[in-house]
Amino acid sequence: MAQTSTDKHLPLTEATFYILLALVTPKHGYAVMQEAEEVSQGTIQLAPGTIYGALSSLEKSKLITMVGTEGRRKIYQVTELGKHVLRDQIHRYQIMLENSVNESDLWAANTTEEGVS
């Protein structure tokens, strides 16, 4: 794979992926928590200390930026760089998906292979 500016940010952790995905539209921290939990079908549950740290470090690495406030809340959104990182991560997921087999095929492969009982 060619060296691009997004490589040093990849692969994203599952939590970071959902945080960036949620911030395609502007949101404050708690809204990110709720959205991540909802779209990940409950597999990602972020605690406030964790999300606060994640937002700060994503802002530092310029993947997201503050676009406004709502009371005392900071509103963040992904930057162009953040979108490119998301796109490249999604591309990685697509490759993984292409390499995936159905659950039933997993066990079917076992029986034809030698040395596996």
Nearest distance from C-beta of residue 15 to another protein, angstroms: 7
Nearest distance from C-beta of residue 113 to another protein, angstroms: 29
Report how far apart, in Å, the C-alpha atoms of 65 and of each of 10, 61, 109 are: 19, 10, 47
Indicate the residue among 6 and 16 with the shorter CB distance to another protein: 16
Nearest distance from C-beta of residue 44 to another protein, angstroms: 9
Indicate the residue among 39 and 109 with the shorter CB distance to another protein: 39
Tokens of 111: 């029986």
User: Strand 73-78's sheet: what is its strand order?
Assistant: 27-28, 73-78, 64-70
Indicate the residue among 21 and 33 with the shorter CB distance to another protein: 33
Q: Where on the chain is the footprint of another protein (CB under 8 A)?
A: 15, 28-30, 33, 45-54, 69, 71-74
Q: Supply the DSSP string of 14-44, one letter for each residue.
A: HHHHHHHHHTTS-EEHHHHHHHHHHHTTTS-
